[in-house]
Amino acid sequence: MLSILHTIWNVFTHAFHRRVTVRYPEEKRPLPPRWRGRIVLTRDPDGAERCVACQLCSVVCPVGCIALQTTQDETGRRYPAFFRINFSRCIFCGFCEEACPTCAIQLTPDYEMAEYTRPALVYEKEDLLIDGTGKYHDYNYYRVAGLAIGGKDKGEAEHEQPPVDVRGLLP
């Protein structure tokens, strides 16, 4: 009897507590930028695709939900011919972002991607690629890589000497 009264009292006092329930979807909780939600492919500060299709994200993925094919343009710059993430399998672990050597693949604080059918959760490159740099604003992989691509010749990357003149005799 005493415990029933105690319970009724407790419930009554809750009427005066601060509300923690959010009236989603009208109202949304702010999420930290490191929230592991919908995956995007970003662009480098010059506006070009960051992904070099190195396939590290796909191999690190514990559920194997990333598939892509490497290709390259006529200047030698690599990019994915297709890039597919099966979000119906994704567990949002963020390993792909951690493995990405070019900061291309990033997880965003967007979790509103429920669908009525599973095929609608299969995202292709045009669904994934955004127009910005995401969380990492300054990184441009090709500025530190030794590979020459269109617009960046040998020796023009950061911390690089000009190409060696093999025929030169100077020490």
Which residue, 7 or 72, has its beta carbon nearer to other proteins? 72
Which residue, 31 or 59, has its beta carbon nearer to other proteins? 59
Q: Of 29, 8, 47, nearest to 130 (Cα)?
A: 47
23 three-state secondary structure? coil
DSSP per residue over 36-67, as a string?
--SEEE-B-TTSSB------HHHHH-TT--EE
Q: Answer for the pair 113, 121: CB distance below 8 angstroms, yes or no.
A: yes
171 binds other proteins (CB under 8 A): yes
User: Binder to other proteins among 36, 45, 55, 94 (CB under 8 A)?
Assistant: 55
Token readout for 29 is 């909780």
CA distance 28 to 26: 7
Q: How far is the CB of 48 from other proteins (least distance, A)?
A: 14
67 binds other proteins (CB under 8 A): yes
Half-sphere exposure of 94 toward its Cβ, with a 13 Å CA cutoff? 9
Cis peptide bond prior to 62, omega within 30° of 0: no
Q: Among the candidate windows 1-9, 38-46, 114-122, 125-133, which touches other proteins by CB under 8 A?
A: 114-122
Q: Among the candidate windows 27-35, 41-49, 68-76, 132-140, which touches other proteins by CB under 8 A?
A: 68-76
CA distance 6 to 97: 50
Which residue, 48 or 109, has its beta carbon nearer to other proteins? 48
159 binds other proteins (CB under 8 A): yes
User: Binder to other proteins among 39, 40, 41, 54 (CB under 8 A)?
Assistant: 54
86 binds other proteins (CB under 8 A): yes
Token readout for 77 is 């710059």
**Footprint on this chain of other proteins (rule: CB under 8 A):** 52-56, 58-59, 61, 63-72, 78, 84-86, 88-89, 101-102, 118-119, 121-122, 124, 141, 144-148, 154-155, 159-164, 166, 168, 171
